[in-house]
Amino acid sequence: MKKRIIIISIWVTLILGLIVLVYLMGKRHNEKKCSKVEIKINYKDDNYFVTVDDIKAMINKKDDSIVGKPLSNINISEIEKKISASPYILQTDVYSTVEGVIKINAIQRKPIARIINKFNLSYYIDEEGMLMPLSPKYVARVIIANGDINDLYSPFIKLKVDSGKTTDSLVKKTAVYKIYMLSKFIDADEFWKAQIGQIYFSESGDIELIPLLGDNRIIFGDISDIKEKFANLKAFYEKGLSELGWNYYKTINIKFKNQIVCSKK
């Protein structure tokens, strides 16, 4: 019985000692001053909407840096909120090290299309289906979508899209949804990314694709059977246009299932 009491006492002492040690280490860490701030941005592509200096401006008050301040006075979660509030930032992770370094890791959103609506208002849509405003400092080199597009920009619009399987019929009817589905497919395929430069919404309701090479239009129709339509078009490119040339046809119509109808110039 005494042996058991001794063992329990030893364990209680060890646990209490560990709690005190953790408390002292945490207290010492909080009393430590911020020695520097390290910022890393994952751009995911060659577009640069946000710079390290931009993030520094977000977390520092005018002429007042967080460097030199006690870590206990630095609100990590508030810093994350400020950075994440940027419409160009997808994700932010902020933490402090035992050396007093504040580390900030941010992931920039990746735009996949620039939309110019019928009111000549322009904005981006990213690979997550989130709308992004234009940047006053940087222009992304992405596919252009324009024409008979009514949708306006809102920072609160995120398309509820899961690989195109959304059941929201209202979302599926919007032009931005159709642009998202098309541009996401094109962006994921190096061949089509090098071929297609523009998505055009005609007044007739058809979606047209404008190639970067040649002087023709591809009548795509709606966004049904995207994969199948592009597969048929690629086969036509490889067999038909390789012999006749890029400028032989005025339009290439692939809107009908398993059919390609062309009109000559």
pLDDT per residue over 30-55, tens digit each?
A: 568 888 999 999 998 888 999 999 99
Whether 182 shows a pLDDT value over 90: the answer reads: yes
Confidence tier at 24 by pLDDT (50, 70, 90): very low
**pLDDT of 142 higher than 90:** yes
Decide if 186 contacts 116 (C-beta within 8 A).
no
Residue 109: predicted pLDDT: 95
Residues 58-101 pLDDT 10s: 988 766 788 888 888 889 999 999 999 999 999 999 999 888 89
Q: What's the pLDDT at 29?
A: 47
Reported confidence tier of residue 135, pLDDT bands at 50, 70, 90: very high
- pLDDT on residue 140: 93
Q: Give per-residue pLDDT as tens, 168-181.
A: 667 788 999 999 99
Confidence grade of residue 156 (pLDDT, cut at 50, 70, 90) = confident
Q: Which residues contact 63 (CB under 8 A, 6 or more apart)?
A: none
3-state SS, residue 209: strand
Write out the two tokens for 31: 């009393």
Domains and CATH numbers, the chain: 33-108 (3.10.20.310), 111-264 (3.40.50)
Mean pLDDT of all residues in 131-137: 92
Q: Nearest 5 degrees, angle CA 236-CA 241-CA 244?
A: 140
- Return d(Cα 178, Cα 181) in angstroms, integer: 5
Contacts of 69 (CB under 8 A, 6+ apart): 33, 34
More confident residue, 106 or 260: 106
The CA distance from 81 to 175, in Å, is 31
Nearest CA to 113 out of 160, 153, 84, 165 is that of 153
Asked whether residue 9 carries a pLDDT value surpassing 80, the answer given is no
pLDDT digits (tens, 9 = 90+) for 193-233: 999 999 999 998 899 999 987 778 999 999 999 999 999 99
Query: Which tokens in the block code for residue 2?
Result: 């005494």
Residue 136: pLDDT over 60 = yes
pLDDT at 101: 92
